[in-house]
Chain A
């Protein structure tokens, strides 16, 4: 009895000493924390401040309170940009998840040259987005592009790709899918490697078909990883900028103007800093809400 409490007391001392020590380690973090404060936290606070002004670069700067925010509600262009962003994001989440899952299942098998195949498969996500976007732009050319030639070969009528309002977003999604399916694959491949083998052996004994094994064992066990991939993909698709900016700059007209592009135009084409800052705040709130919602789902699916 007394020895047990002695051990407890000793454990408490060790724990206290560890925490004491921990305090010294704060100095390792301080320089980085200052950099984070300067480059990440300060901009947030300052953005919020700017959003309360009618702040035009090089001319007026007038305090307007929440006027920028109320203006957002009646700004039709912003509303459309928001809807477009959601449309773009939905498509850019669903397809990479499906394809990434298929790819992860295949790369989970052992086969000759697997390492090389996997490296090639992840090249798109490492490549410089601007460089790749330029090649896509050339391929989308309605008259001279290689994609319309390919369509012609298999008997499909040519598409206008990014040159028509109806097809521009699905086309941009195609580029996004090409770009980011590898990240989904890597995340899910990590998940597959961590799955227990017992359920699979039991299923084998019971004579389950591969489809049943996938449906009733792999999918449920993989669910937490799928949700992580879903979260990351959603955030990245909402933030997409490079390829849209390079390929269409929001066009034709404003058919591919997502919030990010709208934001860019307000701030750095019209120099409307106050209004753009209000857009940033709302946009960021939207991202945080979605991320929090998905995190909450993640807690739910955890076995």
Chain B
């Protein structure tokens, strides 16, 4: 009897733990599937009856939503791609040189508030005439993605056995070949982790785009925030848009939860 009670209490605490997360997302979904009348009803209507897709249709009917989605895709993919291109070799180099101080320097990027990069870079981009293009947003996103990639890759390359590369070197391979054909294929799981994390934190980023983006270059988080400012009470479309923005990230988390947990516990990394 006591055992059963204990088990029940444990199950209850698990439910209690995960319910805040579930309930917020369910409420988001519920708001997005109801008409405006039900959304502003008090007491609230919880289950949409009948559920309607009108809110989603309205979001897609604004042709700029697709433009902003495309901007977000370009920014996140470029920022992640460039970070991988630069960060994977850098992680390898740092791991091989055992340059812990260099790694510490990268951690400083982690603790700097995002806004503090923005004033000088904002002025710089103005002088260079880059405002109004996606380039400033991609470049500033490197501030987030590059440290994540380097940090994850250092711990991965440090965990690899060095014998295979040494064998390659003895056989006359250059260190670049040893990296490219031996170490990198072995570190593919690490590259996946780095790629997923840097994509998610770039996709979620708000602060850089809110300052740097013009009308045509907004990313999705900025565009969705603007919907709130100008249409105070139209909760249906707003929730639909919010859900569409965060859905790719939530799906990615569900699919790749093992890699994400491994990457996050390794470095405690997170976007600026």
B225 at the interface (CB under 8 A from A): yes
Residues of A within 8 Å of B98, CB to CB, are 22
From B25, B124, B146, B204, name the one whose CB has the most chain A CB atoms within 10 angstroms.
B204
Kindly state the separation between the CA atoms of A39 and B150 in the bound complex, as whole angstroms.
15
Asked if B86 is at the interface of the complex by the 8 Å CB criterion, the answer is: yes
Give the docked Cα–Cα distance between A166 and B88 (Å).
48
Q: Given the known A-B contacts A40-B143, A189-B265, A232-B268, are A27 and B18 also in contact in the complex, defined by CB atoms under 8 Å?
A: no
Q: Which residue of B lies closest to A174 (CB)?
A: B20
Q: Are A138 and B93 interface neighbours, CB within 8 A?
A: no
Are the C-beta atoms of B17 and A106 separated by less than 8 Å? yes
A102 to B10, CA, bound (A): 12
**Segment at the interface with B among A65-73, A75-83, A109-117, A212-220:** A109-117
Q: Are A238 and B238 in contact (CB under 8 A)?
A: no
Number of interface residues of A (CB under 8 A): 85
Q: Check A124 against B268 for contact (C-beta < 8 Å).
A: no
Q: Does B167 make an interface contact (CB < 8 A)?
A: no
Tell me whether A32 and B113 are in contact in the complex, defined as CB-CB below 8 angstroms, given that A120-B21, A144-B40, A149-B43 are known contacts.
Answer: no
Q: Which of A1-25 contact B (CB under 8 A)?
A: 21-22, 24-25
Query: What residues of chain A lie closer than 8 Å to B228, measured between beta carbons?
Result: 134, 137, 246
A284 touches B123 (CB 8 A): no
When the two chains form their complex, are residues B257 and A43 in contact, meaning their CB atoms are under 8 A apart? no
Q: Which of B90, B204, B242, B254 contacts A134 (CB 8 A)?
A: B242
Contact at B116–A47, with CB atoms within 8 Å? yes
- Please pick, from A22, A130, A189, the residue contacting B97 in the complex, using a CB distance under 8 A: A22
Give how many B residues have a beta carbon under 8 Å from the other chain's beta carbons: 93
**Interface: B22 (CB within 8 A):** yes
**CB-CB < 8 A to A46: which residues of B?**
120, 123-124
Do residues B112 and A40 form an inter-chain contact, with CB atoms below 8 A? Answer: yes
| A47 nearest in chain B by CB position | B120
Q: Choose among B25, B264, B272 the residue that contacts A239 (Cβ–Cβ < 8 A).
A: B272
Q: State the total of A-B contacts with C-beta under 8 angstroms.
A: 251
Name the residue on B nearest A153 (C-beta): B43
Name which residue of chain B comes closest to A29, CB basis: B93
Is the Cβ of B143 less than 8 Å from the Cβ of A134?
no
Give chain B nearest CB distance to A40 CB in angstroms.
5
A31 on the interface (CB 8 Å rule)?
Answer: yes
Residues of chain B within 8 A of A122, CB atoms compared:
253, 257, 260-261
Known contacts A25-B175, A31-B90, A50-B120; decide if A138 and B239 are in contact (CB<8 Å).
Answer: yes
Mark interface residues in A166-178 (1 if CB within 8 Å of B CB, else 0): 0000000000001
Bound complex: CA A31 to CA B86 (Å): 6
Q: Are A135 and B89 in contact (CB under 8 A)?
A: no
Chain A 111-150 residues near chain B, CB threshold 8 A: 111, 115, 117-132, 134-139, 143-144, 146, 149
Chain B min CB distance to A249 (Å): 9
List the B side residues contacting A276 at CB < 8 Å.
119
The docked-state distance in angstroms from the alpha carbon of A25 to that of B109 is 22
Q: Closest 3 A-B residue pairs measured CB to CB?
A: A28-B93, A32-B90, A46-B120
Q: Which residues of A contact B (CB under 8 A)?
A: 21-22, 24-29, 31-33, 35-36, 39-40, 42-44, 46-47, 50, 57, 102-103, 106, 109, 111, 115, 117-132, 134-139, 143-144, 146, 149, 178, 182-183, 186-187, 189-190, 228, 232, 235-236, 238-239, 241-242, 245-246, 260, 263-264, 267-268, 273, 276-277, 280, 283-284, 287-288, 291
Q: List 14 A-B contacts (CB under 8 A).
A: A31-B86, A44-B116, A102-B17, A111-B14, A120-B22, A123-B25, A131-B221, A134-B228, A137-B228, A178-B24, A245-B210, A277-B119, A280-B116, A280-B119
Apart from the given pairs A131-B221, A146-B44, A283-B113, 13 other A-B contacts in the complex at a CB distance below 8 Å: A36-B109, A39-B139, A43-B119, A43-B120, A123-B21, A125-B270, A126-B260, A130-B245, A135-B31, A138-B31, A178-B24, A183-B270, A273-B119
